Amino acid sequence: MSHLGTEATGKITTQVIQSRKQKGEKITALTAYDYPSARLVDEAGIDIILVGDSLSNVVLGHENTLSVTLDDMLVFARAVRRGTKRALVVGDMPFGSYHINEERALESAVRYIKEGGVEAVKIEGGRTRALLVERLVENEIPVMGHIGLTPQSLHKMGGYKVQGKTLNSAQNLIEDAVTLEHAGIFALVLEGIPEEIACLITERISIPTIGIGAGSHCDGQILVYSDLLGLTFGHQPKFVRKYVDLKSIINQALTKYVLDIKEGKFPADSESYHMSLEVVTKLKR
């Protein structure tokens, strides 16, 4: 078996992602949670598939991302892995899987790589995660950072609030980004922050920034699969662009299915199996 040739196959690696920034090429990223969503996202040519802990809300119906466990995430990560050929698959470390101590965090990340088949992990938080990032990177695990409106800090933030609006908090975000870069992250998600700070951070650090609700100056953009396709229930933040309203399309299809059964229109003759008239005649005797 050859270990060479990722460039020839077009496989996206963390190095490819980093080279995009140097070449000034935008990075595309999206979440996916299962085999069909991963196949569709991969086949659309998206660079990074994040197995996001947003699946806690959008797939499992929890109120926030705090409830999902590493064992849950591993089931979805494996399905995404099976559906992905080209994109870089990043596993979101769920709340609690990296908070207790570095040993447990390393153990969680190793499980993600070995059992979930992800190629990198994402952790939320600023400079307080720097030592952990160093530890993971030292142990061959690429890490994506995530600062700004970090949903796992919901209770600490007192709700989902745009971060970095004051001078002090903006300076803190810049400091976080620089410290995480030095610690070894390969890319940084900037969520729910003013465009101006995202732009400053993007200029200040040499690794790519991937924005979500952080304006257009980031090196790439990420959204939640279900939001983009109109498959989420409840409030949508203003940064979400819904490219299609799949919920309505699915609703129309399901309503029609119910009606067709009730009116005897489903199944049609062409959707039914038949036996020869001869056998039917004998059976009826």
Of 132 and 210, which has the nearer Cβ to ligand KIV? 210
Using the contact rule CB under 6 A, the part of the chain among 7-15, 35-43, 47-55, 125-133 near ligand KIV is 47-55
What whole-number distance in Å separates Cα of residue 73 and Cα of residue 65? 11
What whole-number distance in Å separates Cα of residue 240 and Cα of residue 83? 25
Sign, CA torsion 11/12/13/19: positive
Of 47 and 53, which has the nearer Cβ to ligand KIV? 53
User: Facing residues of 91 across strands?
Assistant: 51, 121
What whole-number distance in Å separates Cα of residue 223 and Cα of residue 28? 9
Q: How far is the CB of 261 from ligand KIV (least distance, A)?
A: 37
- Decide if residue 149 touches ligand KIV (CB under 6 A): no
- Decide if residue 219 touches ligand KIV (CB under 6 A): no
- Decide if residue 221 touches ligand KIV (CB under 6 A): no
Using the contact rule CB under 6 A, the part of the chain among 16-24, 41-49, 50-58, 242-250 near ligand KIV is 50-58
CB 231 within 8 A of CB 240: no
- Decide if residue 91 touches ligand KIV (CB under 6 A): no
Question: Among 119, 124, 181, 191, which one carries the catalytic annotation?
Answer: 191
What whole-number distance in Å separates Cα of residue 183 and Cα of residue 185? 6
- Decide if residue 92 touches ligand KIV (CB under 6 A): yes
What whole-number distance in Å separates Cα of residue 20 and Cα of residue 113? 24
CB 115 within 8 A of CB 78: yes
- Decide if residue 80 touches ligand KIV (CB under 6 A): no
**Site of interaction with ligand KIV (CB under 6 A):** 31, 50, 52-54, 92, 189, 191, 212, 222, 224
